[in-house]
Amino acid sequence: MQLLVFATLCFTTWMSSVQATPGRLANCCIQWSTTKIPLHLVMNYTIQSEGVCPISAVRFHTNRGKTICSDPDSKWAKRVIEKVDRKTRTLLEKGQSEEGSTSDMTPVACTLPKNEPRQKIRKGRRRLRKQRRRGKKVQKKDMHLSLVLVTVLCFTTWVSSAHATHGPTASTCCVQWSTTRVQLNKIISYTIQSEGVCRIFAVQFLTVSGKTICSNPNTDWTKKAISKVDEERRVASTAITPTASTLPKTTTGHSPTITQKWNETTEQTQQASEKKATKSCSAS
């Protein structure tokens, strides 16, 4: 009986010293938390009064060293307090029933509640600091990865918009006029470029070597080249056979390949007839 009274006195003294010790305001709960954890994770609690701190609250200490500030009038807080008190009473009754317990063991019972929570709190704070450091590293990696992805996405969108802004013909537009001049007989076709699709108004000439010349449509050379190509088209359309009428018409001024072959064949025939006439005249 004396042992039980002594243990109860030690525990009450310890609780009073913990509650009455003047601490910093930073240790006070400023507001109540709505966090609820399983009851078996709560190791002990401390009652916070309004005289020392801004509000009255119950500070629950978990087995991981964390502190939860709860409303003392809430049902969950009352259940936790009742559970911790019941656990404390069970430990005291168990210590009384053990054999060989003497008054020499009472200092151990008084010092255990002081040292164990502090060690657990320190360990919990270390774990919390490590978790925060790891979380910061993960956040930095995620930020870098997100920045790279956003950059790639913006570049892809810009490239796609640059190619698709003016339709499929925007990639073949002339950006500026060229001063290059070639012989008119080397031009086989032309395409008129309008400002509605491209930046500038120009004429694209296609040469026999496959090159494209972008010219100012208002220059004399450009007008002569257009007239030459149109004349060749008219001659080809009148000289070509009816079977060639089935060929698709071009709206860009291209001369069909079959027309070129027909002109070459006609010229070769005329040259051969002239040579024969010359030989006959010389023989006579």
Domain layout of the chain by residue ranges: 2-20+27-135, 172-266
Per-residue buried b or exposed e for 38-74, using 16+ beta carbons within 10 Å of the residue's own CB: eeeebbbbbebeeeebeebbbbbbbeebbebbbbbee
- pLDDT digits 0-9 by tens, 137-180: 887 778 878 888 888 888 887 766 655 444 435 567 888 899 98
Q: What is the mean pLDDT of residues 194-210?
A: 86
CA distance 172 to 117: 77
**What's the whole-number mean pLDDT along residues 183-196?**
87
Q: 89 falls in which pLDDT band (50, 70, 90)?
A: confident
Which CATH code is given to the segment(s) 2-20+27-135?
2.40.50.40
Which band of pLDDT confidence, cut at 50, 70 and 90, is reported for residue 240? low
Tell whether the model's pLDDT for residue 49 goes beyond 70: yes
Q: Which CATH class is domain 172-266?
A: mainly beta
In this structure, of 31-40, 105-114, 138-147, 194-203, the range with the lowest mean pLDDT score is 105-114
Does an H or E element contain 106, and which?
helix 106-164
Return the amino acid letter for 219.
T
Of 17-31, 213-227, 246-260, give the range with the top mean pLDDT: 213-227
Tell if the pTM clears 0.85, that is, is over it. no
Q: How far apart are CA 112 and CA 10, in angstroms?
A: 11
DSSP state of 71: -
Q: What is the pLDDT of residue 281?
A: 59
Which pLDDT band, with edges at 50, 70 and 90, does 111 fall under? Answer: very low
Q: What is the C-alpha separation between 182 and 254, in angstroms, rounded?
A: 17
The yes-or-no answer to whether 2-20+27-135 and 172-266 have a common fold is yes
Average pLDDT value for residue range 125-137: 84
Element (H, E) at 61: strand 57-62
Query: Hey, which residues does 90 pair with through a beta bridge?
Result: none
Q: Select the more confidently predicted residue: 62 or 9.
A: 62
Q: In what order do the strands lie in the sheet with 67-70?
A: 42-48, 57-62, 67-70
Neighbouring CB atoms inside 10 A of 79's CB total: 12
Mean pLDDT in residue range 126-133:
85
